[in-house]
Amino acid sequence: MSVPTRSGRVTVNTLRRMKQEGEKIAVLTAYDASFAQVLDEAGMDIVLVGDSLGMVIQGRETTVPVTVDDMIYHSKAVQSQLKRSLLMVDMPFMSYTDPASALANAARLMQEGGAQMVKLEGGAPQVDTVAALARHGIPVCAHLGLMPQSIHKLGGYRVQGREQQAAAQMRDDALALQGAGADVLLLECVPEALAAELTEAVEVPVIGIGASPRCDGQVLVLQDILGITPDDAPRFSKNFLTGSDSIQAAIAAYIEAVKAVEFPAQEHTF
């Protein structure tokens, strides 16, 4: 079954309407102009220049070494080819330690890199920063659950929110970040029931990765869906190149599966 994608340039208002109308939001990462063009022409709603580039492009063990200059370089390349998709760009480790630093670095990502939305990790401690960005007209995606920039603190890549107290804190964080002006929430490696509950509790779109199919959208790393991840692909991912005759067909299959709520399946959730 072919699922049509929404026409016209995707904006923050588009994403809100999609949530209201029950249309799923398809998101993939890209780090260069060539893949950006392919994703845009396929009808991707959001293209994310993720700090995951530290691992899949630079060969690092974590995202921690990635710099603002790295993000600008790759964002500029991706932005040059986008005519439809909204461009979201990660704020890298230690680039938003306080509202003033966040404002300065987000401004660079937008002015030099072409970002249309920035993404940062963290719950309640980021409320003031999100509020400051929102006051200055900077669209924000707030990332909850497993936060790769905090991997050394977390002690590994583990599902977040299983315990009652942790789940309650995540609910409070989601509402606080929405109240501060976050335009989108992203949940990574969160139990299905909690992810579904949070999606219902907030008015802004919720994008999942290793979360519930009931989230408003899904995001994966491009290399994972093409089966070229340097290490073992995470459980929540799927190789869409298997059974497809081209990269373009694999990307189209991913979009269709998200829109039709065929991905993620039960084996991709926690």
Q: Give the sign of the dihedral formed by CA 136, CA 92, CA 217, CA 163.
A: negative
Find the catalytic residue in 23, 121, 188, 192. 188
Is residue 203 annotated as part of the catalytic site, yes or no?
A: no
> What 3-state DSSP class applies to 160?
coil
Give residues with Cβ within 8 angstroms of 229, minimum separation 6.
56, 221, 223, 237
d(CA 201, CA 180): 15
Return the amino acid letter for 222.
L
**Torsions phi, psi for 120 (to 5 deg):** -135, 155
Spatial contact of 52 and 29, defined as CB atoms under 8 Å apart = yes
Burial 229-264 (b: 16+ CB within 10 A, else e): beeebbebbbebbeebeebeebbbbbbbbbbeeebb
- Catalytic residues, by residue number, are 188
